[in-house]
């Protein structure tokens, strides 16, 4: 009888263990939702939970459909199934959930590294990337990296295709921040020309060494339900390929990725 009680699911010990596991699981879920994306080791350190326990609980949450690991890194995010966790985090997680497999698929074809980025507080923040898998990348560990808006193709694509009201607010914010590197790109004449050229080709361009002198990039906006959910960029080494060749060779594929992501979000 004693052994039966000890192994019974209704026993105090087992109940206590179950409650503790549930509490820890919910704490992990809240932490992921608050941070947007994080690694198991970061969760363990932040919450004071042993790393093996974090991995075990993440496996359970993944099996239940509440979290998913990134296709390009060891980061975990909440899924669209966790709809009650908050709209902003859920939308970003859904975007990454949809984009990850497409970046993996097209990354192997295009070879040059691809980035998925979203706008956040005067910067474009990389959410998914193929930098770690591309043999042509000169950068690593790019997820979470904050890119300048005016000096990157992703930022230029976002500014061009977001609403006029949002664009005005972003530009006002950038002017208040007063980064000297942004000054020439805040000129109304330059901005008007950039918007016109970007809309004309359907892709934003960075190719004058204005951010990273060694590289250039193209970006396509992901337009879903009338707004820009994010941008897809391709980065290449300037000395290896001309801008005209990059647009002709890779432009259509970049637009195709953006369209497929947008379609999956609707």
pLDDT digits 0-9 by tens, 213-255: 999 999 999 999 889 999 999 999 999 999 999 999 999 999 9
**C-alpha torsion angle, residues 172, 178, 181, 185 (rounded to 10):** 30
**Cα 82 off chain centre by:** 18
* pLDDT band at residue 136 using 50, 70 and 90 as cut-offs: confident
Distance CA 251, CA 37 (A): 29
* pLDDT band at residue 4 using 50, 70 and 90 as cut-offs: very low
Question: Is residue 15 classed as helix, strand or coil in its secondary structure?
Answer: helix
Phi, psi torsion values for 86, nearest 5 degrees? 130, 135
Class of domain 86-265: alpha beta
pLDDT digits (tens, 9 = 90+) for 23-64: 999 999 889 888 878 999 999 999 999 999 999 999 999 888
* pLDDT band at residue 10 using 50, 70 and 90 as cut-offs: very low
Mean pLDDT, range 88-95, rounded to an integer: 66
**Cα 253 off chain centre by:** 19
Lowest mean pLDDT among 84-98, 134-148, 183-197, 232-246: 84-98
Residue 141, pLDDT score: 58
Question: What is the CB neighbour count within 10 angstroms for residue 141?
Answer: 11
Residue 75, pLDDT score: 86
- Per-residue 3-state assignment (H helix, E strand, C coil) for 231-266: EEEEEEEHHHCCHHHHHHHHHHHHHHHHHHHHHHHC
Domain with CATH 3.30.450.40 in the chain: 86-265
């Amino acid at each position: 009888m004693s052994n039966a009680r000890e192994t019974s699911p209704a026993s105090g010990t087992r109940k206590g263990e179950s409650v503790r596991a549930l509490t820890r699981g919910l704490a992990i879920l809240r932490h992921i939702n608050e941070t947007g994306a994080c690694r198991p080791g970061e969760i363990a350190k932040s919450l004071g939970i042993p790393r093996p326990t974090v991995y075990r609980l993440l496996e359970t949450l993944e099996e239940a459909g509440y979290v998913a690991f990134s296709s390009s890194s060891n980061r975990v995010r909440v899924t669209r199934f966790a709809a009650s966790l908050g709209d902003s985090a859920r939308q970003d997680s859904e975007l990454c959930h949809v984009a990850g497999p497409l970046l993996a698929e097209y990354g192997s074809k295009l070879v040059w590294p691809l980035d998925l980025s979203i706008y956040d507080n005067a910067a474009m923040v990389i959410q998914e990337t193929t930098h770690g898998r591309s043999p042509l990348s000169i950068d690593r560990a790019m997820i979470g990296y904050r890119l300048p808006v005016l000096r990157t193709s992703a930022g230029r694509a976002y500014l061009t295709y977001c609403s006029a009201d949002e664009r005005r607010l972003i530009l006002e914010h950038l002017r208040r921040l007063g980064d000297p590197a942004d000054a020439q790109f805040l000129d109304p004449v330059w901005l008007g020309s950039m918007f016109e050229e970007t809309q004309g080709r359907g892709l934003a361009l960075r190719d004058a060494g204005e951010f990273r002198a060694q590289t250039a990039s193209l970006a396509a906006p992901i337009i879903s339900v009338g707004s820009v959910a994010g941008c897809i960029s391709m980065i290449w080494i300037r000395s290896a390929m001309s801008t005209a060749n990059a647009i002709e060779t890779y432009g259509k594929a970049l637009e195709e990725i953006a369209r497929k992501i947008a379609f999956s979000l609707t």
